[in-house]
Amino acid sequence: MLKEYGNNISTVHRVTDVSIVILCWYASYALRFEVLPAGQQGLFVEFSYISIFIALTTFYCFEKFELYKSYRLKSIYSEISQVSKANFTVFVVLIFTLYFIRDEKISRIHLVTFFLLSEVCLTISRLLKANMLRTMRAKGKNIRYIKAVGDGEQLTKFLEVVYKMKGSGLTLVDDEKKADAFVVGYKSESQNELNQFMRSHYNDVREIHLLPEISYSLLGNKIEDFDGIPMVTVNQPKFPTLELALKRVIDLAASTIGLLLISPILIIIAILVKFTSKGPVLYGQERVGLDGKKFKMWKFRSMREAKNDEDKLVWSSKEDPRITKIGSFIRKTSIDELPQLFNILMGEMSLVGPRPERTEFVEKFKNEIPSYMLRHKMKAGLTGWAQVNGWRGDTDLNSRIECDLYYIKNWSIWLDIKIILLTFVKGFVNENAY
């Protein structure tokens, strides 16, 4: 790792963040209960106990969001974004905890003020830190001298980022005697050159960072230690266990509440489907989900029943004569997809993820389109990144797959929330849905 600062400064950084959050808690308390009218008195001790919980939660969440890893090549904007996400997580945990405690003394004005004030103060602290580092580096302090070695594509990308991030404090040198770290990236066919470099520098105390050429790994790599043997797993998405568990909790809560709230709509649509055309109300179709496992996905029937097996294997089109009148409406508005809340409840699908495809099409596409099967590294979803970007229905398949792989590689709870919000804004009614 190309360290930004030492362990001592990193410790100070942790203490500063927790201190800022706690000070904001007390400042918002003073504003609500000491300055504003109708403030209840004598709550300082009780709110001090809560501040201990906030301090511990802040420390844990900020660590989980990796706010103290030293990334010289990370922009201040991405750092502020990470801080905001971590702070919002602390706020959500606090809200849920206070809800279960059911303490009537808690003020919503106090809580909102605390969150907004902590967001502003943490942002200012990050801007001040960035300015301090920029000033230090302008004076020649906190500089890392890097010797780039190799001819690989990954090294070229690394150098492009270094040139772009002028305030990173990384200085490239040609003379390796002046270097305090090496960044090595050779092409796959240049293994001999890599071996020669490592043999000549095996006894060097300076840091050596390897940039492996793994061009066929589209979803990221995972480096593990197998009883002392380094092992690189390719196309291995990095999904934090805690966030995956939270994703499942959200799926369970949303599908349960959703089914209860829209049950009248489901009943009305079921009646309309039943009495406007022959056949069952629900249509179960075998789809391919997580890790290529098959499951039955449920939809409201929007077409007349297939007369033969050949009809079943035809991909629907915009002017498909099999679509019923009510079917055209529920497909256009995506109402036909609502029974998939049962699939989500059963754990076969998620609210957000790549849309599942039929088995026969998966068998066809996996032999025709490179990287197609990688979209099954994530549980299939009711909505997805491709859908909110307009790639649904009879649209370019390669663009849809590109969106699916982007989603998996960059997945986070925050991306899921963004997709859900975009779905409500523009995802239900779409010109490509039919």
Burial group, residue 297, by CB count within 10 angstroms (0-12, 13-18, 19+)? buried
Q: Is the pLDDT of residue 424 over 60?
A: yes
Reading the block at residue 235, the tokens are: 């196309």
- Over residues 242-269, the mean pLDDT reads 92
Residue 37 confidence (pLDDT): 62
Residue 56 confidence (pLDDT): 95
Taking only the tens place, the pLDDT of each residue in 327-340 is 888 888 888 999 99
Lowest mean pLDDT among 113-127, 252-266, 286-300, 311-325: 311-325
β strands within 254-364, DSSP E: 282-288, 294-300, 350-352, 357-358
Closest CA to 413 of 104, 88, 126: 88
- Helices 7-30 and 108-138: angle between axes, nearest 10 degrees: 150
Give the fold, CATH level 3, of 144-213: Rossmann fold (3.40.50)
Kindly give the residue spans of alpha helices, DSSP state H, lying in 216-320.
241-261, 263-276, 309-312
Q: Is the pLDDT of residue 166 over 90?
A: no
How far, in Å, CA of 85 to CA of 79, rounded?
Answer: 10
Q: Is the pLDDT of residue 115 over 90?
A: yes
Give the confidence band of 434 by pLDDT, cuts at 50, 70, 90. Answer: very low
Q: Is the pLDDT of residue 5 over 60?
A: no
- Over residues 55-76, the mean pLDDT reads 85
Most confident of 133-142, 227-236, 249-258, 303-312: 249-258
Name the residue with tokens 């009711």.
382
Alpha-carbon dihedral sign for residues 85, 89, 94, 95: positive
Residue 167 confidence (pLDDT): 78
Residues of the chain with CATH 3.40.50: 144-213
Reading the block at residue 167, the tokens are: 């305030």
How far, in Å, CA of 146 to CA of 141, rounded?
Answer: 15
Name the residue with tokens 């029974």.
339
Lowest mean pLDDT among 26-30, 99-103, 188-192: 99-103
Q: Is the pLDDT of residue 116 over 80?
A: yes
Q: Which residues contact 322 (CB under 8 A, 6 or more apart)?
A: 303, 304, 306, 311, 316
Residue 342 confidence (pLDDT): 96
Mean pLDDT across the chain: 85
Closest CA to 61 of 85, 78, 79: 85
Give the confidence band of 346 by pLDDT, cuts at 50, 70, 90. Answer: very high
Burial group, residue 145, by CB count within 10 angstroms (0-12, 13-18, 19+)? middle
